Amino acid sequence: MEKRAPYHTAAPKGPRNLAQPLGEWLRAQGFSVLLQELSAYALLTAHWISPRFERFELTYTWQAGPSPDATCQLRALSHQLGPQVEVLFTAQRVRRLKDMRLLLLGNVRYHNARLLAKPAAITTASTP
Average pLDDT along the chain: 84
Pairwise CA distance, residues 56 & 74, whole Å: 7
**Least confident window among 17-26, 33-42, 81-90:** 81-90
- Angle, helices 97-105 vs 108-117, to 10°: value is 80
pTM of the full structure: 0.77
